[in-house]
Amino acid sequence: MTTAPAAGTAERILDVAERLVQTRGYNGFSYADVAAELGITKPSLHYHFASKAELGEALIARYHTRFSAALEAIDAAGGDPGIRLRRYASLYADVLDNQRMCLCGMLAADLETLPGRMQDAVVRFFDSSETWLAAVLDEGKASGALRGDGPSHDQAQMVLSTLEGAMLVARSYHDTERFRAVARRLVSSLLAEPHTG
């Protein structure tokens, strides 16, 4: 039994690059930025990630994996669909609390400048979120907890769009409460019983 090992270089590169993409965008950071922060040189980065495109793909893959794990944790924790939606929104709020934009929301803005494989990976992330949301919404309708106005997949697109947009705008104001207010309003609009406040 050993102490937990420090994260390997590749992981630390991903940590720094992830934060830089989430705050500055794909075209707003460089290998030099990452290298300087880690106290290594640019060629060392290229040893771990041969190209910026490769690094970008690894970023999305890790983010997607972690996000999917968080969704599984929400399912495993149980609770009614309303609670699950609130916890889903909390995942976004946690990101914003770290002064970051959703990685894939940020990359969606940069999409036209990204390598094709990164573009595809961003869309797959959105697909994944929408599929999970639609399942929760379906379950909520079956139990009577959620309103059934329109197809769940359409509602799921609404939820994803609203949360991504609320992050984008709230970050501009450096105001996470602005995000939370929109998220609360969004979830309330999906509940079977209209809420006040």
Partner DNA sequence: GTCTATAACGAGATAGAC
Partner DNA sequence: GTCTATCTCGTTATAGAC
Site for DNA, rule CB under 7 A: 8-9, 29-33, 39-44, 46-48, 50-53
Q: Which long-range contacts link 187-190 to residues 24+ away (Cβ below 8 Å)?
A: 187/82, 187/85, 187/86, 187/89, 189/147, 190/82, 190/85, 190/137, 190/140, 190/146, 190/147, 190/155, 190/159
- Residue closer to DNA (CB basis): 113 or 143: 113
| Nearest-angstrom CA–CA distance, 197 and 193 | 13
- Residue closer to DNA (CB basis): 52 or 100: 52
* Per-residue mark of binding to a second copy, 125-164 (x: CB under 8 A): -x----------------------xx---xx-xx-xxxxx
- A 10 A CB-CB count for 146 gives 23
Q: What is the DSSP letter of 5?
A: P
Residue 77 as a binder of a second copy (CB under 8 A): the answer is no
Half-sphere exposure of residue 60: CA atoms within 13 angstroms, side-chain side: 25
Cα 77 from chain centre:
20
| Nearest-angstrom CA–CA distance, 28 and 38 | 18
What's the closest the beta carbon of residue 40 comes to DNA, in angstroms?
A: 4
What's the closest the beta carbon of residue 186 comes to a second copy, in angstroms?
A: 7
Q: Which of 16, 55, 85, 101 binds a second copy (CB under 8 A)?
A: 101
The piece of 47-55, 58-66, 83-91, 99-107 that touches a second copy (CB under 8 A) is 99-107
Q: Binders of a second copy among 158-187, rule CB under 8 A?
A: 158, 160-173, 178, 181-182, 185-186
Residue 5 as a binder of a second copy (CB under 8 A): the answer is no
- Residue closer to a second copy (CB basis): 41 or 131: 131
Q: What is the DSSP letter of 193?
A: S
- Residue closer to DNA (CB basis): 43 or 197: 43
Contact between 163 and 186 (Cβ < 8 Å)? yes
- Residue closer to DNA (CB basis): 19 or 86: 19
What's the closest the beta carbon of residue 53 comes to a second copy, in angstroms?
A: 15
